Amino acid sequence: MTNTTNSSLTIDVNSVLNMIALLMDVIVLLICIMYFCIIIYRIIESKYKHGRRSLNVSLVLSINIILVIFIKSLLQIVHITYPTLVKNLGKPLSISEPSVHRMRAYMLWSMYGVLYWSYTLVAFYRFVRVIYSTKLWLHRLSLYVCLLIPGEYLFVYSNMLIILFGFRSINMLPDEAYFSIIPIPFYSLLFASFIIFIVPFHIVCLFYYLIVKKMRETTMIRQEHDLHRRDFVVLRRMAGNLIILGTVIIIYIIIVLKGYIENRFDSLMERIQWLSSSSSSFTFAITLPFITPKLREFLKQNRLMPVMH
């Protein structure tokens, strides 16, 4: 009787967490569609009505992030949330083509990594804008569109192929309705964590440190108000990104360590992990205008964002 009650309670908690994740992902999809519509409208308006180009590096990097968030959230709904909801309702769910589900899991984890590397690109752009302001070739739009943005996709997807074909660690999880990276053996999940979270996070930390160091040097030498304001805005936005990244990573690490300590990876831990994933997408989508001046300007023009002085 007690086991049945605990099982029912676990299923209820899993269902609630899954519904919250679904709600977040749906909201994220709607926000991304809204961003795309506003950006396209303003670019067309600027080109044909005012005769000027609205695209710059910051906006292109944000468009890339919006696209990544949209694809990742859609993949998570299709591959994780929907099958889990069907399973929790007690309906049969057959997996006729394991290779398709395995490939979807590979794409989902890869897009998760691309999201963090996309934020690393934003940090890199801020870094070169402050540290190498005279190196104009580092500020060119073509560098990011033709090399850096495609490069981040190629880097993450090629490294995740090691998980898929090298370690063969993307399989059906016990008591779950989807394929994912199995936590045992630990080295596959550890490798994925390095590629997806740890490396980009430390790169952002390095950029943050170098920007702070440069700010202190310029503060000692120059006293111009505009320079102080620009550096302060960069610092504040970088700090916000670090807090977001750090929060998600800490939650992820706690969940994984708890599982290894207890030698048990149950459904509740999976729900918390993917709820954390949905929360990160939601947070990134909401805070994106605060790290992209052009996107914030577009939202202000549509009265979707308060004017900040």
Angstrom distance (rounded) from CA 90 to CA 118:
39
Exposure class string for 273-299: b at 16+ Cβ within 10 A, else e: bbbbbbbbbbbbbeebbbbbebbbebb
Angstrom distance (rounded) from CA 172 to CA 180:
6
The H-or-E segment that residue 188 falls in is helix 186-193
Q: Which amino acid is at 272?
A: I
To the question of pTM greater than 0.75 for the whole model, the response is yes
pLDDT reported for residue 225: 46
φ/ψ (deg, to 5) at 89: -80, -5
pLDDT reported for residue 230: 60
Angstrom distance (rounded) from CA 232 to CA 193:
31
Contact 103, 95 (CB under 8 A): no
pLDDT reported for residue 228: 47
3-state secondary structure 104-154: HHHHHHHHHHHHHHHHHHHHHHHHHHHHCCCCHHHHCHHHHHHHHHHHHHH
pLDDT reported for residue 205: 82
The H-or-E segment that residue 180 falls in is strand 179-181
Q: How far is CA 40 from CA 59, 60, 143, 286, in A?
A: 11, 12, 22, 19
Q: Which residues contact 83 (CB under 8 A, 6 or more apart)?
A: 93, 177, 178
Provide block-wise average pLDDT over 10 residues at a time, the chain (309 residues). 47 81 95 93 79 79 95 95 83 76 94 92 86 86 95 96 91 84 82 88 83 68 52 66 70 73 74 83 87 81 56
Angstrom distance (rounded) from CA 136 to CA 189:
40
Contact 201, 247 (CB under 8 A): no
